[in-house]
Amino acid sequence: MPGRALIAELGVKPDLPLMQAIEAITRGSKKIILVLGDNQKLLGIVTDYDIRKAILAHMPFETPVTAFMKKDPVTVRDDMSDDDVFTVMTEVRCHQVPVLDKSGRAVGVRFVDEFVHRHGARGEHIAVVMAGGIGTRLRPITYDTPKPLLSIGGKPILFILLDQMFSERFDRVFVSVNYKADAIVSAIRDASRYRGNVEFLFEKEPLGTAGSLTLLPVRPSEPFAVVNGDLLTNVSLAEMRNFHKSEGNRVTVALKRETYTIPYGVAEVDGSRIVRLKEKPAYDHYVNTGVYIVDPDVIDMIPRGERCDMTTLVDSTLASNAPVGWFPVHEYWLDIGTPAQYERAQEDYHSHFTGK
């Protein structure tokens, strides 16, 4: 049972601000931190879900964790059997649970992945990677190599995405291909770890970032992930899927806040008069990261055999008055669409993906 080392890694003080909580959750792999008082008394917990809800609520980054933590989390005792712990986690549907000793001190955390052999039947976890784009903005390097096969840190972008999906227990992955499809198919089939685990959707004509979903050979039984094949990101698709279900969305779009500073002084005018001058103002925007979770029946909104992008599908879903939500991305994310972004990805890879 996890002990002091894990508590030292996950334990934080009550005055920890939101920004540092985001860093702690992102830096660790456990998706939970424990808010501890004197003598390791458990005051509350903060999960990845709590972090994203705080961001959705536009809480200032200086807000202490006590303002958004779960104050009365479900806990288990350190003398409970594995069967009893698993029963508790199953009943409350939690992925992690703090462990307390008889004095009420936090002494560890149990994770549902420890009981993977007890899970039994579960819905299929499907992901679709859109890898059919031409990569026009990256020419001339994409004349010979399709963008998803461009190397980052010695590994194709597509392989980085696939490895993440399999590590998060997506058990059926489809790759949609069009431009230089043979090269992508050959590269995947030549990699033994993907052979037999990756299926292909062949677009006879470019179908956009949503159109090829109509080519899926089966209707997914659960919400599934759709990811652009030219991204470098470590956003958790499993957490996003759980968030999607908790929020009751039909489509969930991963958004990341980006700040753009206008490199000039900007004037606010009223008729012929200047009302205000702002020197190099900065504006925050939430940008679409190209990562989505989609309910299976949303596929019915996509016209078959026609080009359709995910943005159009989102608009159609909104027009039907179905709930469309957004998933705040606090993890690393980069769209590799230009030579400058490709160069930046090479520089960022080791610090964000290898721990070096």
Within this chain, do residues 251 and 221 fall inside the same structural domain, yes or no? Answer: yes
Which amino acid is it at 10?
A: L
pLDDT at 28: 66
Task: Tell me which of 80, 95, 118 is where a domain ends.
Answer: 118
Average pLDDT, the chain: 87
Reported as a single tens digit per residue, the pLDDT across 245-302 is 989 999 999 999 888 899 999 999 999 899 999 999 888 889 999 999 999 999 999 9
Q: CA–CA separation, 234 vs 227, rounded Å?
A: 12
Within this chain, do residues 145 and 101 fall inside the same structural domain, yes or no? Answer: no
Pairwise pLDDT comparison (174 vs 145), residue with the higher score = 174
Lowest mean pLDDT among 104-118, 136-150, 151-165, 292-306: 104-118
Q: Three-state SS for 226?
A: strand
Domain count, the chain: 2
pLDDT at 356: 46
Q: What is the C-alpha end-to-end distance of the chain, expressed in Å? A: 29
pLDDT over 60 (residue 2) = no
Task: Tell me which of 95, 118, 141 is where a domain ends.
Answer: 118
Strand partners, 258: 285
Q: CA–CA separation, 26 vs 74, rounded Å?
A: 23
Within this chain, do residues 91 and 143 fall inside the same structural domain, yes or no? Answer: no
The domain that contains 14 carries what CATH number?
Answer: 3.10.580.10
Pairwise pLDDT comparison (266 vs 124), residue with the higher score = 266
Within this chain, do residues 150 and 35 fall inside the same structural domain, yes or no? Answer: no
pLDDT at 315: 95
Within this chain, do residues 90 and 161 fall inside the same structural domain, yes or no? Answer: no
pLDDT over 90 (residue 18) = yes
pLDDT over 70 (residue 227) = yes
163, two tokens: 């490895």
Within this chain, do residues 150 and 111 fall inside the same structural domain, yes or no? Answer: no
Reported as a single tens digit per residue, the pLDDT across 82-104 is 888 888 887 777 778 889 988 88
Strand partners, 267: 277
Within this chain, do residues 303 and 169 fall inside the same structural domain, yes or no? Answer: yes
Reported as a single tens digit per residue, the pLDDT across 149-202 is 988 988 999 999 999 999 888 888 999 999 888 999 999 999 988 888 899 999
| CA dihedral for 66, 72, 73, 77, sign (positive or negative) | positive
Within this chain, do residues 10 and 135 fall inside the same structural domain, yes or no? Answer: no
Task: Tell me which of 97, 118, 139 is where a domain ends.
Answer: 118
Within this chain, do residues 321 and 176 fall inside the same structural domain, yes or no? Answer: yes
Domain boundaries, position 179: 126-353
Reported as a single tens digit per residue, the pLDDT across 43-82 is 999 988 899 999 998 899 999 999 999 998 889 998 888 8
Of all residues in the chain, what percent carry a pLDDT higher than 70?
A: 95
pLDDT over 50 (residue 121) = no
Give how far the C-alpha of residue 120 lies from the chain's centroid of Cα atoms, to the nearest Å.
Answer: 25
- Locate tokens 């702002």: which residue? 278
pLDDT at 249: 95
Pairwise pLDDT comparison (138 vs 102), residue with the higher score = 102
| CA dihedral for 249, 253, 257, 260, sign (positive or negative) | negative
Within this chain, do residues 180 and 319 fall inside the same structural domain, yes or no? Answer: yes
Q: Which residues contact 72 (CB under 8 A, 6 or more apart)?
A: 44
234, two tokens: 């470590």
Q: CA–CA separation, 89 vs 287, rounded Å?
A: 35
